[in-house]
Chain A
Amino acid sequence: MNRRQKQGYITAIAAVVLLAILPLKLGSHSVLSLLHLDVSILSEMLLFAIAAMSVNLLLGYTGLMSFGNAAYFGLGAYGAGLSIHYLNMNFIEGAIIGTAVALVGGLLVGPFLLRRRGIYFALLTLAFGQVFYFIAYRANEFTGGEDGMSFPRPYFGFPGWHMDLQEGTFYYLMLLVFAAVLVGFWLIVRSPFGRTLQAIRQNELRVRYLGLDSNKFIFVALLVSAAMAGLAGALYGLLIMFAAPLMLDWQQSGDFVMIMILGGAGSIWGPVVGSLIYVIGKDIISTLTQTWQIYIGALFVICVIAFPSGLLGTLLNSIARRDVGAPISEEAAPHKARESGAPAGNAAVAAEQKES
């Protein structure tokens, strides 16, 4: 195990332990109650983090901007809600069906998305997202239309054993799911498949000229992303016991993108940090003012300008720089050499030769 891996494990364990002790009471207070926060805020934070990770897989790793992941999120919520409401499904079944419905959504739109790149891809995800939004909005009798639909939160368990999920226990279940998703995500991005996605982000043409059908990789990334967003949406529906068209809306998609960019695209923890800031920021600011969206928006703009690679990204970069201590000599100015085009880089050559 190398140093970076070790750091990764330590960060992950520390974060999960920290998240686990936040709601614990010491005497009559917990960290949460001191901050006047409800434990369901933490559940929301974890679920939004998963949804933002689903966007991150596409943008941060594969280089595809999705403005439609709320569609999968909402499909997940409706899948869970409808199956519980009409078919009397239990908690686990509801979550699985929600995820599956989102996956089917991904299967349906994926083949069309595959043909587009760049801004056209982004616009098409937006358009498909709105299609699903209007379906939920229009299917009045079935989905409750504009007003959305309420449904009960079923017992969690299997035949023979079950438990009632209060907000506290619900949170610990979410933490478990979140940890599992995090590990899964980490395994995916480190796998040969994940590395190929990262190569596609940088240069899809070269990936194809290494004999790989990039579309096949992108399609699977889309499905994984849809399933992740769907799972988050199904569990979010179970958290608030409600599903509404707004969950599929482009504004919701935009929030996921914002969360990801806040924390830093292309890193595993970025969306988690972004979600923490977003959800708690929203909670605190919305108790102070009705127009909280303006302030969240302003915060976002400031963050993007001040920390172009995300809060976490910027922090990590500065640590890394101090850590390694500029391995490349300054006069090499490699980036400048590259930007200025072809025959440049004499300095870089010199630097290489010094090393060899």
Chain B
Amino acid sequence: MAEALLEAKNVSKHFGGVVAVNSVSVTIEQGSIYAVIGPNGAGKTTFFNALSGFYIPDGGQVLYKGQDITTMPNWQRVQLGMSRTFQTPSIFPELTVYENLLIGVQSQQKIAFKLRLPSAARKKEIDARIDELLGFVNLVHLKDRPVAELSHGSQRLCEIAMSLSVDPTIVLLDEPMAGLAEAETERIMRVIRDLHDRLGLTVLFVEHNMRVVLSLADHITVLDRGAMLAQGTPSEISNSQTVREAYLGQEVLNRV
């Protein structure tokens, strides 16, 4: 069995009286593509936020490679190797695609705090890295455009490239395909495959579209009203009676 990379143990988070996440435990093994699914308001984003340090959970533990990171500041988690995207792309809208990636590459190369311009050799290295990242998500042709001018799908891809710029071990993608047309969904699916197959990354993602989840993920957790409803492989999930009854429409599963 592969080693556990990221673990949540009985993680809970509530907002006032609303229990957004209720004692959820998952174990994400190195090299897997792990999906979190559930209806609107199930607590998927809140769970992501607790894992990535956007919120400190009210209860439970988050472990990364066995280290307790429950209360670690978010930027330190990124340095450890966890990066993420957001349900609404979080980018630098007025900066160009190139500059958006530059911030991350500077961070990864530990030169973001420098007051001196990078040397010519270093600059070349940085530019090559940015080209590589843009090549990966197919945005090279938009390099010098302000990100605000890009389509929603391209902004998503730019954000994914940004999350890669820090050289992560695991990427957390919150609904990377939400609101996209079919063609762009395909494009992002291919990118997620490549993250795993070509870059050897571990991927944790939230997604509504059952077809996408069942074809991409090797492990799935189903959340419903903050609680864990089921957990397992795609075939276990699609055959689970609980999931069928509680969440998934019968026809959805029959089609797969």
* Chain A residues within 8 Å of B, Cβ to Cβ: 187-188, 190-193, 195-196, 198-199, 202-203, 205-214, 216-217, 328, 332, 334-335, 337-338, 342-346, 348-349, 352, 355-356
Complex CA–CA separation, A60 to B75 (angstroms): 24
How far, in Å, is A115 (CB) from chain B's closest CB? 14
Q: Is there contact, CB below 8 Å, between B115 and A195?
A: no
Chain A hits for B152, CB < 8 A: 337, 342-345
Cβ contact within 8 Å between A211 and B75: yes
B23 close to A (CB within 8 Å): no
Name the one of B88, B90, B149, B178 contacting A332, with C-beta atoms under 8 angstroms: B149
User: DSSP majority for the A interface?
Assistant: helix
Q: How far is the CA of A214 from the CA of B165 in the complex (A)?
A: 17
User: Which residues of A lie under 8 Å from residue B93 when comparing CB positions?
Assistant: 202-203, 338
Contacting residue for B166 out of A202, A211, A355, CB 8 A: A211
Q: Of B111, B113, B141, B151, which is within 8 A of A345 by CB?
A: B151
B238 within 8 A of A: no
Residue of B nearest to A214 (CB): B75
Contacting residues, chain A, for B150 (C-beta < 8 A): 334, 345, 348, 352
Q: Which residues of B contact A206 (CB under 8 A)?
A: 90-92, 103, 162
Instruction: Check B154–A192 contact: CB distance below 8 A.
Output: no
By a CB distance below 8 angstroms, the chain A residues around B162 are 206, 210
- Contact pick for B91, options A187, A203, A213, CB 8 Å: A203
Chain B interface size band reads 35 or more
Chain A residues within an 8 Å CB radius of B107: 210-212
> Is residue B30 contacting chain A, with contact meaning CB distance below 8 A?
no
B96-116 interface code vs A (CB 8 A; 1 in, 0 out):
000100111011100111111
Given contact pairs A209-B83, A213-B73, A335 touches B181 in the complex (Cβ within 8 A): no
Query: Are B149 and A348 in contact, with the CB atoms below 8 A?
Result: yes
User: Is B78's CB within 8 Å of the partner chain A?
Assistant: yes
Total contacts A-B at CB 8 Å:
132
Q: Which residues does chain B contribute within 8 Å of A211, judged by CB atoms?
A: 75-76, 78-79, 83, 104, 107-108, 166
Please tell me if the beta carbons of A337 and B151 are within 8 angstroms of each other in the complex.
yes
Asked if B99 and A192 make an inter-chain contact with CB atoms under 8 angstroms apart, the answer reads: no
Write the nearest CB–CB distance from B8 to chain A, whole angstroms: 19
- State whether A338 touches B113 (Cβ < 8 A): no
B114 with A192: CB separation less than 8 A: yes
Could you say which residues of chain B place their CB within 8 Å of the CB of A202?
A: 92-95
Residues in B whose Cβ lies below 8 Å from that of A355? 141-142
In the complex, the answer to whether A212 meets B112 with C-beta atoms within 8 Å is yes
Min CB gap B11→A, angstroms = 19
Q: When each residue 169-187 of chain B gets 1 if its CB lies under 8 Å from chain A and 0 otherwise, what string results? A: 0000000001111001000
Q: Are A195 and B154 CB-contacts (below 8 A) given A210-B165, A335-B148? A: no
Nearest to A184 among chain B residues (CB) is B115
- Are A208 and B91 closer than 8 Å at their CB atoms? no
Known A198-B95, A202-B92; contact A210-B113, beta-carbon cutoff 8 A: no
Does chain A have a CB within 8 A of B46? no
Q: Which residues of B are in contact with A by a Cβ distance under 8 Å?
A: 52, 73-76, 78-79, 83-84, 88, 90-95, 99, 102-104, 106-108, 111-118, 141-142, 145, 148-154, 162-163, 165-166, 178-181, 184
Chain B residues lying within 8 Å of A348, measured Cβ to Cβ, are 149-151, 154
From B90, B113, B141, residue with most partner A Cβ within 10 Å: B113
Q: Is the CB of B154 within 8 A of A352?
A: yes
The complex places the Cα of A264 from the Cα of B179 at a distance, in Å, of 37
Contact between chains at B106 and A196 (CB < 8 Å): yes
Q: Which residue of B has the minimal Cβ distance to A335?
A: B148
Q: Which residue of A lies closest to B126 (CB)?
A: A192
User: Are B181 and A334 in contact, CB atoms less than 8 angstroms apart?
Assistant: no
B78 A210 Cβ-Cβ under 8 A: yes
**A349 contacts which chain B residues (CB < 8 A)?**
151, 153-154, 184
10 contacting pairs across A/B (C-beta < 8 A): A192-B106, A193-B115, A202-B92, A206-B103, A209-B52, A211-B83, A212-B75, A338-B93, A346-B151, A349-B153
How far is B106's CA from A212's CA once the two chains are assembled, in angstroms? 10
- Which of B88, B153, B165: most chain A CB closer than 10 A? B153
Residues of A within 8 Å of B83, CB to CB, are: 209-211
> A174 vs B113: C-alpha distance in the bound complex, in angstroms?
30
Docked-complex contact B149 and A209, CB < 8 angstroms:
no
- CB-CB under 8 A for A199 and B95, given A206-B90, A348-B150, A356-B141: yes
Q: Which of B73, B104, B180 contacts A210 (CB 8 A)?
A: B104
In the bound assembly, the distance between CA atoms of A337 and B111 in angstroms comes to 35
Which residues of the partner chain B approach A192 to less than 8 Å between Cβ atoms? 106, 111-115, 117-118
State A349–B179 Cα separation when bound (angstroms).
14
CB distance from B209 to the nearest CB of A (A): 14
